[in-house]
């Protein structure tokens, strides 16, 4: 798996996915369906953005992602 694997390319794909979620149009639904769609989009963005912001390391075939969840105000 590690042959040809580029951590930075993978992280860039997650950053692109996060941006795609931000640009995603809302489907023509209302009420509960709309709320569920918005909630899922928020979760997708958060997940993709967190991984996109990670520092990655591949050692002996083990991928480790380090994500700093501390507030930037500290």
Confidence of residue 28 (pLDDT cuts 50, 70, 90): confident
Residues belonging to the chain: 74
Task: For residue 63, give Cα distances in angstroms to 30, 36, 42, 48, 53.
Answer: 41, 32, 26, 17, 15
For position 46, what pLDDT does the model report?
Answer: 95
Query: Which residues, including other chains, have CB under 8 Å from residue 1's CB and lie 6 or more apart?
Result: 61
Q: What is the pLDDT of residues 37-67, one digit of tens each?
A: 999 999 999 999 999 999 999 999 999 999 9
Instruction: Report the chain's mean pLDDT, rounded to a whole number.
Output: 90
Average pLDDT over residues 19-38: 89
Confidence of residue 1 (pLDDT cuts 50, 70, 90): low
Q: Which residue has the higher pLDDT, 8 or 29?
A: 8
């Amino acid at each position: 798996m590690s042959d040809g694997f580029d951590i930075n390319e993978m992280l860039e794909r997650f950053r692109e996915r996060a941006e795609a979620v931000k640009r995603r149009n809302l489907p023509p639904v209302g009420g509960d369906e709309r709320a569920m769609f918005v909630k899922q989009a928020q979760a997708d963005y958060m997940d993709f953005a967190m991984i996109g912001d990670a520092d990655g390391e591949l050692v002996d075939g083990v991928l480790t992602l380090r994500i700093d969840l501390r507030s930037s105000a500290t």
